[in-house]
A and B are shown apart, each in its own frame.
Chain A
Amino acid sequence: MNDPATGSVSGGPAAGARRPMSPVGLAMRRFRRNRLAMAGLAMLALVAGACAVGLIWELSALAHGDPEPYRTPLAGTHPQPPNADYPFGTDLLGRDMLARTLVGGCVSLGVGLAAAIISILIGTGWGVTSGYAGRSLDTVMMRIVDVLYGLPYILIVILLWVAVADQSLQVRMVVLLLAIGGVSWLTMARVVRGQVLALREAEFVQAARALGSGPARIIVKELLPNLTGTILVCATLTVPLAILQESFLSFLGLGVPPPLASWGTLASDAVAALQPVRVYWWLLAAPCAMLGATLLGLNFVGDGLRDAFDPRSR
């Protein structure tokens, strides 16, 4: 997935006058030259844009007091295959699949984004602390990660689910996000710790230490800039995993509560409605196509970022 042009520095007309680029700037330039990664980014933008339109549609219906498109049954016989009125068809209860797919996309993307943010905040903090402190604190913190890895995450999610007595939509969503985010930071913590262990002994860190920098300053000024690539790549690849986990939970009936939808609940409802006599293929096609495009786009972007930040790929 390396672009052949990756390493070459093509001198533009004003090549002589240009400032030397920062490592992040160089990586971003390599990223922009990676066609597959840019295609992935375009796919993501398209999906996110469509979901944003769906959100605006929903919000404007709410603001005007109109029936919400994703949860209001339509008149007539249902389910209808895709047609001029309903481009994605309608579901078994006569709801517009287009609205449900777009609103479901907002939920799925939101889950993925929340997992990425949690893994960046907790995972990076945990990994940097563990790696930089070293010695017994490092051992204890990494054993905790090992134990959490060893606990099957479905169990954590289900127990969290039953532990919270409040069944309202908001609480359910928060529990879902906490559950998925709570397990998604482990990989980040491990990866970041490994990097910090190597960077801690690097010459520039020793120089900073010799100049009298304290741990906080070294971490913020020296380590974090060098971890940007690692963190970015790991966070990008966390998102598709979180979205897949959400769909897995939906299959178990532990996803977002109805009538709200996510791509996972839509797909698992469609799978449940599948039967040999009458095939409601459009119920499965719309959410799975959106889901597939998102996961592919994220993987392409993640690979592209890794190639761009990996010094060996130069």
Chain B
Amino acid sequence: MAAYILRRLAYFVPTLLAIYTAAFLLMHAAPGSPFGDEKGLPPEVLAVRQAEFHLDKPLWQQYVLYGWDLVTLRGHTSMRYPGRNVIHDILAPAFPVSLVLGLFALGLSVVVGTAAGVLSAARPRSAADYTAMAGAMIGISQPSFVLATVLLAVFAVALGWLPVGGWGRPSQMVLPALALAALPAAYIARLVRTGMIEVLSADFIRTARAKGLAERQVLLGHALPTAWLPVLGYLGPAAAGIFTGSFVVEKVFAIPGVGQHFVDSALHRDHPMILATVLLYAVLLVVFNLLVDIGYAWLDPRIRYE
């Protein structure tokens, strides 16, 4: 297992390098320079600005310089916010906000989705089953910005139960987390339900029932760990979706997270910012996928990694 993890960690380097390269090339494939549309800039000023961001150097030097700034976590000043370092002044304060919100939403979707899936699989075609699955359908059928806005309009504006937006207090986290968790929770509920129904007809479940175990123990102790495996596979894409999808929710609820920088940096072609956010996202994704694979081995003894 340790050897496996080490080998996976070694794979991180080429993967991240490839992602960095792809982002770098895409960024430079766009025509014009980032300062091209600033009309009337004196040529001397333009030259200084371009030199500050290595734009006067050949492409491979820019590639190496920006890469080195990121690897050493030194960062570079942003093009859009002069004087502010992309890592220390922009991403470092915003990242914990997004991480906490994302993990909370992910945890919420796992708990709610699993509970709904088990409940509906325990008694298929019952009222509980139909209620849970109807709820899951709502989660799947609307874009997150509509869901976020409707939640905001109902629970914050009309009923006044929860704050309209902002960040800091736990109550401010409820609505954004709900809006983010709806889609993954719905998928997880359906995955768990399908998996449970399949597992519940397996021989080892009949044995468990025959030896007189309580239904609770059969469902949660025997059936769920096996039925939960597909959910583990879905968690990677789900986490990616939550971290990118957070842009919409952060915007609707005025949360100072990473999401806005993600989109704005690409829209304004803020080179140092684009590279920093892409690498942040990529690191999160590969680390999370590794955790998922370790989770597989832990949950399913049949899986062996040499």
Residues of A within 8 A of B (CB): 1-2, 143, 146-156, 158-159, 162-163, 165, 240, 244, 247-248, 251-252, 264, 267-268, 271, 274, 276, 284, 288, 291-293, 295-296, 299, 303, 312
Contact = CB atoms under 8 A, between A and B. Distances in A.
Contacts, number: 107
Contacts of A151: 19, 22-23, 26, 278, 282
Contact of A296 (B140, B157, B240, B247): B140
Given A152-B277, A154-B262, A154-B266, 16 more contacts: A146-B15, A147-B15, A151-B19, A155-B262, A240-B140, A248-B144, A251-B143, A251-B248, A252-B247, A271-B145, A288-B146, A291-B142, A292-B141, A292-B142, A293-B141, A296-B141
Interface stretch (B27-35, B74-82, B173-181, B204-212): B27-35
B280 to A, nearest CB: 10
B149 interface: yes
Contact of A150 (B19, B245, B267, B277): B19
A240 B190 CA distance: 16
A264 B18 contact: no
Interface of B: 14-15, 18-19, 22-23, 26-27, 29-31, 137, 140-146, 149, 153, 157, 190, 194, 197-198, 240, 244-245, 247-248, 262-263, 266-267, 269, 274, 277-278, 281-282, 285-286
A146 B285 CA distance: 11
B255 to A, nearest CB: 16
Contact of B285 (A143, A150, A248, A284): A150
The 3 closest A-B pairs by CB, nearest first: A158-B266, A292-B141, A247-B143
A143 B285 CA distance: 15
B266 A150 contact: no
Given A251-B143, A312-B198, A165 B31 contact: yes
B269 A162 contact: yes
B19 A267 contact: no
25 contacts: A143-B18, A147-B22, A150-B15, A150-B19, A150-B286, A151-B22, A151-B26, A151-B278, A154-B262, A154-B263, A155-B274, A158-B266, A162-B30, A162-B266, A163-B31, A240-B140, A248-B144, A248-B248, A276-B153, A284-B146, A288-B142, A291-B142, A291-B143, A295-B141, A296-B141
Given A158-B266, A165-B31, A268-B145, A295 B26 contact: no
B203 to A, nearest CB: 14
Most buried by B among A159, A248, A251, A296: A159
Contacts of A292: 141-142
Contacts of B145: 247-248, 251, 267-268, 271
B214 to A, nearest CB: 26
A296 B137 contact: yes
A156 B142 CA distance: 24
Contacts of A163: 29-31
Contact of B143 (A146, A155, A244): A244
B27 A159 contact: yes
Contacts of B15: 143, 146-147, 150
Contacts of A276: 153, 157
A274 B150 CA distance: 10
B23 A155 contact: yes
Contacts of B198: 312
B19 to A, nearest CB: 5
